């Protein structure tokens, strides 16, 4: 095994260019805290080279959002609707199964617009077919189904975003979700959020502050989700293009607490935080199925206290996110 460290002023010999790494399995890059090849695409989860399929392609939701994704510039290479394989839709091929789609298009990303009773099966089908990033938009998947799906994909080489989420977008490159694309402009701030609407609001503020977005990840508001707040923060912490992270959470659960403790111990980048649900009464679900305070440590006040203790720049109003990011980054 040959370890190769790449430094800023170092120009690697042609034999070590990334395009050849797959042919040289004995070479391992030591990841530096910067982008060694600034001319190559570097992003979190998705980029302009991602090949996307739509599960539930021909339905009304799939059709509408696939159209928006294509207009944004996303490489939508086809879709899946059982019973309609062999047809075309939006000038893209329709396949019977995800496996068929992957074999024909080399797709590596999937977005799911499938009714709740069948969505967990759609997640597992995508994972089994070799999809690397699975974005599940569907809300209301039975908890029992999601327990099964999450356990099934645990041993697979894939990342699940959602369910009940707006998706993921790498600004000016690839939109895999239902967010308004025009809000997101290229920049240096990463966003991880439980709330779809607050994702768009934070992005708009950051863009108007002149900083822009690298990638925004809406992790979803259901009790059982694929990628947690911590895991999303870790992706941004390891992304050379992201200089600051906006972390938007809400009442209920302890995802933000886990992330805050990891940030304190490991993250050198500034993190700006907000917790929604300050005025929510204890024991009542607020909007998302996972947004329910069942213990003292799950309230907005308790979470914000821990986040501040961990060095996160916490704001009390979502209207202050953009200004705080600009202040922190100077």
Q: Tell me if 280 is assigned to some domain.
A: yes
Active site (catalytic) residues? 288
Q: For residues 208 and 90, state if they share a domain.
A: no
Q: Minimum mean pLDDT among 37-51, 205-219, 314-328: which range?
A: 37-51
Q: For residues 204 and 324, state if they share a domain.
A: yes
Whole-number Cα distances in Å, 95 to 55, 90, 325: 9, 13, 44
Q: Tell me if 40 is assigned to some domain.
A: no
Q: For residues 149 and 281, state if they share a domain.
A: no
Q: For residues 227 and 128, state if they share a domain.
A: no
Report residue 200 as tokens: 């768009």
Q: Tell me if 46 is assigned to some domain.
A: no
* Helices 255-266, 300-309: inter-axial angle, 10-degree rounding: 10
Q: For residues 192 and 288, state if they share a domain.
A: yes
Q: Minimum mean pLDDT among 82-91, 98-107, 119-128, 287-296: which range?
A: 287-296
pLDDT confidence of residue 19: 39
Instruction: Write a three-state SS string for the chain.
Output: CEEEECCCCCCCCHHHCHHHHHHCCCEEEECCCCCCCCCCCCCCCCCCCCEEEEECCCCHHHHHHHHHHHHHCCEEEEEECCCCCCCEECCEEEECCHHHHHHHHCCCEEEECCCHHHHHHHHHHHHHCCCCEEEECCCCCCHHHHHHHHHHHCCCCCEEECCCCCEEEECCCEEEECCCHHHCCEEEEEEEECCHHHHHHHHHHHHHCCCCEEEEEECCCCCCCCCCHHHHHHHHHCCCCCCEEEEEEECCCCHHHHHHHHHHHHCCCCEEEEEECCCCCCCCCCCCCCCCCCCHHHCHHHHHHHHHHCCCEECCCHHHHHHHHHHHHC
Q: What is the mean pLDDT of the chain?
A: 87
Whether 327 contacts 287, CB under 8 Å: no
Q: Residue 282: is its pLDDT beyond 80?
A: no
Q: How confident is the model at residue 87 (pLDDT cuts 50, 70, 90)?
A: very high
Q: How confident is the model at residue 25 (pLDDT cuts 50, 70, 90)?
A: very low
| Cα–Cα distance, 176 to 153 (Å, whole number) | 20
How many structural domains compose the chain?
2
Q: For residues 186 and 325, state if they share a domain.
A: yes
Q: Residue 75: is its pLDDT beyond 60?
A: yes
> 4-13, 209-218, 248-257 — which one is most confidently predicted on average?
209-218
Q: Tell me if 93 is assigned to some domain.
A: yes
Q: For residues 319 and 198, state if they share a domain.
A: yes
Q: For residues 268 and 200, state if they share a domain.
A: yes
pLDDT digits (tens, 9 = 90+) for 140-181: 999 999 999 999 999 899 999 999 999 999 999 999 999 999
Q: For residues 120 and 216, state if they share a domain.
A: no
| Cα–Cα distance, 145 to 116 (Å, whole number) | 9
| Domain harbouring 317, CATH code | 3.40.50.261
The domain containing residue 216 runs over which residues? Answer: 179-329
Q: For residues 117 and 204, state if they share a domain.
A: no
| Cα–Cα distance, 68 to 52 (Å, whole number) | 13
Q: For residues 224 and 132, state if they share a domain.
A: no
Q: Tell me if 235 is assigned to some domain.
A: yes
Q: How confident is the model at residue 298 (pLDDT cuts 50, 70, 90)?
A: confident
Q: Tell me if 114 is assigned to some domain.
A: yes
Nearest to 278 by CA among 256, 298, 263: 298
Q: Residue 103: is its pLDDT beyond 80?
A: yes
Report residue 120: phi and psi, to 5°.
-65, -40
At which of 161, 195, 211 does a domain end?
Answer: 161
Q: Tell me if 41 is assigned to some domain.
A: no
Pairing label, strands 88-89, 109-112: unpaired
Q: Tell me if 260 is assigned to some domain.
A: yes
Which residue has tokens 């159209």?
A: 67
pLDDT confidence of residue 266: 98
- Adjacent-strand bridge partners of 76: 52
Specify the pTM: 0.85
Q: Minimum mean pLDDT among 76-80, 230-234, 296-300: which range?
A: 296-300
Q: For residues 125 and 205, state if they share a domain.
A: no
| Domain harbouring 88, CATH code | 3.40.50.720
């Amino acid at each position: 095994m040959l370890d190769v460290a790449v430094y800023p002023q170092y120009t690697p010999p042609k034999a070590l260019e990334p395009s050849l790494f797959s042919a040289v399995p004995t070479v391992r890059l030591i990841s530096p805290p910067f982008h060694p090849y600034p001319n190559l695409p570097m992003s979190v989860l998705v980029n302009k080279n991602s090949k996307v399929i739509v599960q539930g392609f021909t339905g009304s939701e799939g059709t509408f959002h696939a159209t928006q994704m294509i207009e944004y510039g996303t490489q939508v290479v086809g879709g899946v609707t059982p019973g309609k394989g062999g047809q075309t839709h939006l000038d893209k091929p329709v396949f019977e199964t995800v496996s068929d789609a992957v074999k024909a298009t080399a797709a590596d990303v999937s977005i799911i617009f499938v009714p709740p009773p069948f969505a967990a099966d759609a997640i597992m089908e995508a994972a089994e077919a070799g999809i690397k990033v699975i974005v599940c938009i569907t809300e209301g998947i039975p908890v029992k189904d999601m327990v099964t799906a999450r356990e099934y994909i645990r041993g697979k080489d894939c990342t699940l975003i959602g369910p009940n989420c707006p998706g993921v977008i790498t600004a000016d490159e690839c939109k895999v979700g239902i967010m308004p694309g025009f809000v997101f402009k290229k920049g240096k701030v990463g966003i991880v959020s439980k709330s779809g609407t607050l994702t768009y609001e934070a992005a708009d503020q950051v863009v108007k502050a002149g900083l822009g977005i690298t990638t925004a990840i809406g992790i979803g508001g259901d009790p059982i989700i694929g990628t947690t707040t911590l895991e999303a923060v870790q992706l941004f912490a390891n992304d050379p293009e992201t200089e600051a992270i906006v972390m938007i959470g809400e009442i209920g659960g302890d995802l933000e607490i886990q992330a805050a403790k990891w940030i304190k111990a490991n993250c050198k980048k500034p993190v700006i935080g907000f917790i929604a649900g300050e005025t929510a009464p204890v024991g009542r679900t607020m909007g998302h199925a996972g947004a329910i305070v069942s213990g003292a440590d799950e309230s907005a006040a308790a979470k914000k206290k821990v986040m501040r203790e961990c060095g996160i720049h916490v704001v009390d109003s979502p209207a202050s996110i953009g200004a705080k990011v600009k202040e922190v980054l100077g």
